[in-house]
Amino acid sequence: MSASPSGSSSQPAGFALGKHMTVEYYDCASAILTHADTVKEVFLKAARDSGATVIGADFHYFQPQGISGFVIIAESHFSVHAWPEFDYAAVDIFTCGEAIDFQAAVNSIRDGLQAGKVIISAVMNRGITANDGMAMDIPLVQDKTYRYALSWQTAFRRAGARGISCNIDLYDVAPETIGKREELEHFTCKLAAALHPEETDQATGTCFATDDNGDFNLHCRCGALQLSGRILPRERIIYLDLFNYGYFEPREAAEFAMEFFRGQNYRMQVALRR
């Protein structure tokens, strides 16, 4: 067998039908992630900046918040799924051919979303071809041992947690919902009833503390649910800290608060308590 020429490989050059990049965008501007039209323009610009040929786009806004969208390009697609409550956007860029400038696309989306941190989490070759057709010996998923749960309830169970905390920040709330003190006093029990319909406990330990600026703190307990909050009427912002001994669904709590106070968007942080 003759030796291969210097610098060459005995293996033939590989060929893939497509290239697929997944990108994580953290610390995005939540005000941008709550407007589907704005996100759409960001991705249309990114596609053009990358050299792609745009064919069409479809972006959907979920209630009370969240965006999913696709930009169809002649070379394949750009997609995004955004979680404004976590200032996060998951982005896929898929292309066939070598005309797309991936780095230009990544940078353009970063600037458009005002992301503080960008991580290219995967770059995959899709549809690897060989002389005998398609080479399928490189699975995209190696096994079914996943490190991360896809629901808080699963994570709660796996961690052996005893309680769960949830910080919820509500923005642009309706002024009239803040001004009704008697409603605020019942908010904790209404939330507790929504999360745990079987519980009928009355609120205990409710107290308000108002400062010179007209802002005030709220502390209350109803059954296993404890709530503390800082309410800023002039700025139309409410900060809520929830703790529950036992499990509750964080997103249900956030969406209940959004509906109750008629906010425009929210952010959320969750912690499991062991």
Q: Which of 28, 30, 50, 76 is catalytic?
A: 76
Catalytic site residue 77?
A: no
Q: How far apart are the first and last CA of the chain?
A: 64
Dig out the tokens for 249 from the structure: 């669904």
Please indicate, yes or no, whether the overall pTM of this predicted structure exceeds 0.85.
Answer: no
Which residues is 118 bridged to in the sheet? 25
Cα(138)–Cα(37) distance, integer angstroms: 38
Cα(201)–Cα(223) distance, integer angstroms: 5
pLDDT given at position 144: 55
Q: Which of 77, 81, 186, 219 is catalytic?
A: 81
Catalytic site residue 20?
A: no
Listed in order, the ranges of the chain carrying CATH 3.60.90.10 are 15-138, 153-273
For residue 181, pLDDT beyond 80: no
Identify which of 196, 255, 204, 254 has the alpha carbon closest to the alpha carbon of residue 226.
204
pLDDT given at position 138: 54
**CB 214, CB 238: distance < 8 Å:** no
pLDDT given at position 179: 65
For residue 4, pLDDT beyond 50: no
- Counted residue by residue, the chain has a size of 274
Q: Predicted confidence band at 101 (pLDDT cuts at 50, 70, 90)?
A: very high
Cα(251)–Cα(126) distance, integer angstroms: 35
For residue 51, pLDDT beyond 70: yes
Q: Which of 35, 79, 96, 165 is catalytic?
A: 96
Q: Predicted confidence band at 87 (pLDDT cuts at 50, 70, 90)?
A: very high
CA 257, 261, 265, 268 torsion-angle sign: negative
Catalytic site residue 186?
A: no
Q: Give the H or E element holding residue 109.
A: helix 102-113
For domain 15-138, the question of CATH label 3.60.90.10 is answered with yes
Domain 153-273 fold: S-adenosylmethionine decarboxylase (3.60.90)
Q: DSSP states of 214-261 as a string?
A: S-EEEEEEETTEEEEEEEETTTTEEEEEEEEES---HHHHHHHHHHHH
- Mean pLDDT for all residues in the chain: 86
